[in-house]
Amino acid sequence: MTEHDPGRRTFLVRAIVGTGAIAGAELVPAQTTESPKEANASAQSHSGEDRHGAFFNRDDAATVAAFTERLMPGAPGKPGAHDTGVLHYIDLALAGAYADLQDFYRHGLAQLDALCRKRYNEPFVRLNAARQDEVIRALEQGEATEFTWPTAQEFFNTIRTHTMEGMFADPIYGGNKDFAGWRLVGFPGAQPIFTRTDLESKQAFSRAPVTGL
Amino acid sequence: MATEKTDVVIVGMGAVGGILAAELGKAGMKVIGLERGPRLSTADFSGQDELRYFQRQDLRPNAKRQPVTWRASANAAAKPLPILNYGNQAGGGTVHYGAVSWRFHEDDFRVRSQTIQRYGSSAIPKDSSLIDWPLTYADLEPFYDRAEYELGVSGKAGNLEGRKIEGGNIFEAPRRREYPLPPLLADQSGLIFEEGAHKLGHHPFSTPRAILSQSYHGRPSCTYCGFCQAFGCHVGAKSSILVTKLPEADTTGNFKLLTGTMCFRVNSDNSGRVTGVSYYGPDGSTNTIEAELVILATFIYDNTRLLLVSKTRKFPNGLANSSGQLGKHLMAHITPRVFATFEDRFVNIYMGPNAQKHSLDDFNADNFDHSGLKFIRGGQVSVSPADLEGGPIGAAMSMNPPPGIPRWGAAYRDFLAKYFARYAAVIAQTENLPYADQTIDLDPTVRDQWGLPAPRLTYDWRRPNELARIEFLTGKLEQLAAAMGATRYWRSPMGAGAPGAHHEGGTRMGDNPKTSVVNRYGQSWDIPNLFIIGSSTFPTMSGFNPTLTIQALAYMSADAIVNRYKKNPGRLV
């Protein structure tokens, strides 16, 4: 189950990359308003939707938060990557189960940064949503010769996969905060039993609350 | 380095190994079983977790530490496959499988002669290595019956001793008696599949599965939780080898299971017999077992690999390979899919056992007239979640959105939000023909965690006969989706030629030592005290899932070993 610590969460939301939550908004990295010392402190925090620090540095966390939010944008009543804690999920996974992908992410993010600076003179997080989508589409379609390893498509597919995992995996892994991803699609989680009535129903399943591990 | 002696050593404790261990143990033979993975229990499966078991493949071999490489042709470079679809623990694939349990059709055992008889020999693609099996359905029927009753399979008969019964699979081969358990309940997807199929004049039925619809042999019935294919069963209602034959083998007092052990060589002497096996222990130690009888019961890659790496001066091309057929005729199921969404209802396809929930057999085998169709054989058709697994990660990873909707962004989010609980996949599972140039051999560069060369697959299903079959079946899937009342349906793109699920071939059985590796009992023609049992011996694959046939063959081989070989060790044929 997820831990809840409102105090630390408030601190973190103020401190770092929470701006990524607003779909289509200009994404201004928080370091412009913070001293390096504060930034370092916040990077090591472990609370809130955008918490990270198990693996990502501050800039990479901001980029991943912004990128994944474009893949699964949040809107009122429709939780997205930020609302479900996708960054936190990926951060923890890269420090653990996916440790062998650390260099894959480092290289991929560096190539993404180079591409954005070359084409737009700005890092990814500073581009507006339409431009960010343009970049993501180029990666998806392999139209980014700036990428060698990982290739643009490998990088896109991996981030997309990890975004879906963070949205929909059990909250024990750090994403799908408060089952927001499951609520979005109407999945009731690890239900131990369904009855004949449940199986034959043409209605949305709503008997019991969503349950996790 | 430890050395021990035993009557029988079995490599691999899955669908085959567990049955042999129990049956030979009961007959008083001392059996040691080697299993590279752990022995888990039902208590290990209490946390039903899509990320761990479906997405990260926790019950399957680790694709990085135990790589299997694939290339589309002998000219291409082989790369490791990202996912390995077989077991990696005691009980093997039956721990995580969807438990779909078919008997093959009568004509599945004589595909070559059936085809020639009905369509002439020109109907068989020239490059195919199509042959008949060295046994008939009638030979195997008693062992199918035994497997269904001993393990526990739920279904409804469609052909009782020749009498066709609506509601069951009327195309099935004749069975002597009903299934031991009634069919599993149909969910909403099964009900609309049935309705749509009836409209088209097809013959739908509840898929037979080794999942208990009622309590049986002290095990409880299915709870329809939906965490089935890719997962271990949290109540033990899935009739896996882990909860059926392994406990039975334990009670014989003649069975010892060594987990965490990797067999790396089958040892042989100059007399032309095998003397036992060598294996790495969990601590990395090198150990030897001397045995009178060696049975290879691993997945098809490892059966072939073990024989290849065990070559000697006497057997320079690998053990059991005087025919030169070892590693050839690799087959795998390919599954064209059509996704369907519904406006007027929820489908909630994540509920209930999730592999091939409801089926029809009208387009499988030679159940329909292929005249003028440009292909032979067919496929089994069913309704399922996107990747035979019902959770949202599976849907997000395996279901391409309909044309016009991208794979990401607000439109994709809204698509998933609206249709995750309102979709079904209609899928076909095709019978692909054997071809001699579809092979398993040793990768020259990639090695696994034990330093053994990785199995290398050379395979591409995209041949004229197979492409024509897939186009035909996909058309049928679209008709079904429409008849089910889908407001929208669309195709899933086909892959780049890589093998799908349920691999067969590599140590094909036959009735001629010059053209096959083993006889009908899985006994090596060259080395009578070496048996190779499993889908690696299948001469052809059927459109049906292989496991029940693998299990029936295991019972048949066990019967022959106990009743004939034990008294008179030598060639059984």
Contact: A187, B345; criterion CB under 8 Å: no
Structure tokens at B461: 């299903």
- The sign of the dihedral angle between the CA atoms of B566, B568, B570, B573 is negative
For A33, the token pair is 């308003």
Contacts of B392 in chain A (CB under 8 A): 164, 167-168, 181-182, 185, 187
What integer pLDDT is reported at residue A45 of this predicted model? 40
Do residue A72 and residue B234 have CB atoms under 8 angstroms apart? no
Asked if A1 has any chain B CB less than 8 Å from its own CB, the reply is: no
Cβ–Cβ of B408/A194 closer than 8 Å?
no
d(CA B388, CA A204): 21
> Which of these, A206, A161, A201, lies nearest to A71 by C-alpha position?
A161
Determine which helix (DSSP H) or strand (DSSP E) holds A88, and give its type and residue range: helix A86-95
- Chain B nearest C-alpha distance from A41 (Å): 31
For an interface test with B, the pick among A191, A197, A211 (most B C-beta atoms closer than 10 Å) comes out as: A191
For residues A108 and A157, the answer to whether their CB atoms sit within 8 Å is no
pTM of the model: 0.93
pLDDT tens digits along B230-249: 999 999 999 999 999 999 99
Long-range contacts, stretch B115-119, CB < 8 angstroms, 24+ apart: B115/B366, B115/B376, B118/B366, B118/B370, B119/B370, B119/B371, B119/B376
Spell out which residues of chain B touch residue A205, defining contact as CB-CB under 8 Å: 346, 348, 351, 421
- Look at residue A14 in the predicted model and tell me its pLDDT: 31
Let me know how long chain A is.
Answer: 213
B256 CB neighbour count, 10 Å cutoff: 16
Q: In this complex, which of A163, A187, A202 lies closest to B350 when CB atoms are compared?
A: A187
Q: What DSSP string runs through A161-174? A: HHHHHHHHS-GGGS
Nearest CA in chain A to B54: A169
* B289/A149 Cα distance (integer angstroms): 46
Residue B447's CB: how many other CB atoms inside 10 A?
A: 12
Sign of CA dihedral B544, B547, B552, B556: positive
Residues in A 29-58 with any Cβ partner in B closer than 8 A: none
What is the predicted pLDDT for the residue at A24? 30
CB B516, CB B573: distance < 8 Å? no
- Digit-by-digit pLDDT tens for chain A (213 residues) are 333 443 333 333 333 333 333 333 333 333 333 333 333 333 344 445 567 789 999 999 999 999 999 999 999 999 999 999 999 999 999 999 999 999 999 999 999 999 999 999 999 999 999 999 999 999 999 999 889 999 999 999 999 999 999 999 999 999 999 999 999 999 999 999 999 999 999 999 987 778 887
Judged by CB atoms closer than 8 Å, whether chains meet at B420 and A205 is answered as: no
Query: Which residue out of B49, B348, B405 would a mutagenesis test of the A interface target, given it has the greatest number of A Cβ atoms within 10 Å?
Result: B348
Q: Say what the pLDDT of residue A52 is.
A: 72
Q: Do B391 and A187 touch (CB under 8 A)?
A: yes
List B441's β-bridge partners, or say none. Answer: B456
CB-closest option in B348, B409, B417 to A133: B409
Identify the closest residue of chain B to A140 by CA–CA distance.
Answer: B407
All domains of chain B in start order, with CATH = 3-565 (3.50.50.60)
What was the pLDDT predicted at A49?
54
The tokens 């042709």 sit on which residue?
B73
Any B CB within 8 A of A205 CB = yes
A205–B225 C-beta distance less than 8 A: no
Nearest alpha carbon to residue B100 among B429, B392, B334:
B429
C-beta atoms of B417 and A182 within 8 A:
no
Calculate the dihedral angle through the C-alpha atoms of A120, A126, A132, A136, rounding to the nearest 10 degrees.
80
Residues of chain B with pLDDT under 50: none
In this predicted structure, what is the pLDDT of residue B47?
81
Q: Which residues in chain B have their CB less than 8 angstroms from residue A160's CB?
A: 407-408
State the smallest CA–CA distance between residue A21 and chain B in angstroms: 13
Of B49, B56, B416, the CB nearest to A170: B49
| Interface touch B225/A78, C-beta < 8 Å | no
| pLDDT for residue B496 | 85
Q: Retrieve residue B557's tokens.
A: 């081989």
ipTM of the complex: 0.95
Across the interface, whether the CB atoms of A170 and B51 are under 8 A apart is answered: yes
Query: Rounded distance, CA B281 to CA B258, Å?
Result: 9
- Which residue among B224, B392, B408 places its CB closest to the CB of A199? B224
> How is residue B203 written in tokens?
């013959």
Distance CA B159, CA B203 (A): 13
Residue B455: beta bridge partners?
A: B442
